[in-house]
Amino acid sequence: MKKYFTIIVVVVLVSSCKKGFLDRYPQTIIAPQLYFNTESDLSLYINGLLDQPGSSIYMNGNEQSTDDYATTGNVTIKNLMSGNISAQNAPPNWSWGRLRTINYFLDNYARANVSDAVKNHYAGLARYYRAKFYLDKVKNYSDVPWYSHAVSPSDSAMLYKASDPRTVVVDSIFKDLDFAAANVMEKVPAGTPGLWAVKAMYARMALFEGAYRKYHPELNLQATAARFLQLAQQQASDIIASGKFSLTAKYSDLFNSDDLSSNKEVILNTAYDASKKISSSGNFGILDYEQSPSRDLVQTYLMKDGTRFTDNPNYKQLQFVDEFKNRDPRLYATYMYPGLVVIPATTPYVQKLSNNFTGYHQLKGFDNNSTDGTVISSVDVAAIRYAEVLLTYAEASAELGTATQADIDKTIGLLRTRAGMPALSMVVANANPDPVLMAKFPDVTGPNQGLILEIRREKRVEFALEGQRYNDLLRWHAGTTGFAPYAQGLYFPGLGQFDLTGDGVPDIILIGASASIPDDNNKIKNSLGKPLIYYKVGSFGDQNVTLYLQNGENGGATVTGTGTRTFMEPKYYYLPIPVLETTQNPKLKQPFGWQ
């Protein structure tokens, strides 16, 4: 049975800001001496800060323009590479209202007539939220102003201060996380972060900063990377040693369950119940087909026997049905695969093809167990799951050079066993690194090169289409190989009839750009008596066709763009500060390469 946590919105929030910054005192506010008195007051305020992801992780904005996805959406990373972003029209990420809301609590919570343990619990949660807020700012801008208190509107010196160095801000972030990890309680209302969620987020954030410093030479902080990798390793180790979490028996159950509240893999759950008007986006966003998974991601999955798919000399010419044969079972929980029946249909689903899309369809996040909209919109989302903790421990250990086969067995080994895949051998991985992954991540070198690359494969596969790839590519310094190439899709050798369901019977027919699609009565029928679905094929941008192939009528992979977009290093790892802000506060300096 689901347990729900209802958030009551209190008119105490203090996020109103003049010019989007920190220089207006809240207009509607309850005086702190009248509000911060009881545990209920503290709880209501803190729970108004909940920010964990829900079903949007399956349709995540910037995620849609990584090497995992193609999209027609207007997303930031695409706009960066097209040159459509400047300080004059910068994305609205330079906003600080949430920070004022958090700091206002921290300035006043100690008034409450409760024990120190209770006070520190809620202060720990506030500092957890502040750490998350600031890491997002650091990701976008690197150096930003650090504010530990709500700023008075009359304090112009603080309002218009210069940015603090990344090192200062990040040290403050981890002081907040240290306090949170030491004081947040384990038992909390369902659907809200407790001790283990805080520690899991701590590990995630430390891994991000450690890897970012190691692989981003523009920071000149490589010598300090190990400290954060060690923090990530330690926090992940604490969670593993607690014995409170384990992997779900079946991988796909994580993405179509209407109740994850008692699932041992889920460290933090986002619960939905459409009957109580707490609804997810259900299947509808995925079915709208504004995004489509990539062929590059398909090719990353191993064969069922643990060998590399890309070691097949003909892997780039394999067609849809063949490339799904004998693969890592997680692929079939992530992509709509040949032979899948999408209810209420009783026959296999035929991939819909369209210009600007890859032809692959996403299954992860799609509930194929019901046609009832209320049920579909009530599927829970694992906001943080134990699998990530295992991967964090493995990656941090490999990057630090301390990983042992036992470490790999108790982390990657568990994930592969759950998936029905062979174990990962450090010796084999390092003796024979994957050349495809080496090309994607040329910064990875050294004796653990093969192991690190295989852990990155595992992270991509285990969390495919769950909203983590964008940040992973950022911290791994992989903008040129992970963001710039246009996603490709299904391969077709040329014009003709093709089977997309795996039964050996053709489902579609590709015809030339100058040909005409016949009316329904004159369409060719397959041996099952069904008319074939027609597509007119041409080169990218041809307005007279319905499917773009690399070589037009001569075949190739479906394409969502041509050429390679330019990812400017290191500029595009950051965003520009809006010009209005730098005009009001000349002490603010644009990050790397921005003017």
Place of tokens 């600007």: 356
Q: How confident is the model at residue 65 (pLDDT cuts 50, 70, 90)?
A: confident
Q: Are 273 and 261 in contact (CB under 8 A)?
A: no
Cβ-contact 215, 475 below 8 angstroms = yes
Q: What's the pLDDT score for residue 28?
A: 47
Contact criterion met (CB below 8 Å) for 440 and 459? no
Residue 10 confidence (pLDDT) above 70: no
* 371, 343 contact by CB (below 8 A): yes
pLDDT band at 21 (very low <50, low <70, confident <90, very high): very low
High-pLDDT (> 70) share of the chain, %: 93
Query: Would you state the pLDDT for residue 223?
Result: 98
Residue-wise pLDDT for 487-512, tens only, equals: 999 999 999 999 999 999 999 999 99
pTM (2 decimals)? 0.94
Fold type of domain 18-53+91-247: 1.25.40
**pLDDT at res. 387:** 98
Please say whether the beta carbons of 301 and 331 come within 8 A: yes
Which ranges of 367-513 would DSSP assign to H, the alpha helix? 373-376, 386-400, 405-409, 412-419, 426-431, 435-440, 449-462, 469-475, 479-482
Q: CA-to-CA distance for 202 and 170, rounded, in angstroms?
A: 12
Neighbours of 495 (CB within 10 A): 19
Q: What is the pLDDT of residues 159-204, one digit of tens each?
A: 999 999 999 999 999 999 999 999 999 999 999 999 999 999 999 9
Reported as a single tens digit per residue, the pLDDT across 256-303 is 999 999 999 999 999 999 888 888 876 766 766 678 999 999 999 999
pLDDT digits (tens, 9 = 90+) for 416-468: 999 999 999 999 999 999 999 999 999 999 999 999 999 999 999 999 999 99
Report the mean per-residue pLDDT for the chain. 93
Count CB-CB contacts under 10 A for residue 299: 17
Q: How far is residue 580 from each of residues 88, 94, 162, 438, 532, measured CA to CA in Å?
A: 8, 11, 15, 42, 56
* Closest among 512, 440, 525 to 479, alpha carbons compared: 440
Are 571 and 592 in contact, with CB atoms under 8 Å apart? yes
Q: What share of the chain is helix, strand, coil (3-state, %, to 5)?
A: 45, 10, 45
Contact 191, 5 (CB under 8 A): yes
Quick one: DSSP state of residue 485? B
Which positions ≥6 away from 287 have C-beta within 8 Å? 366
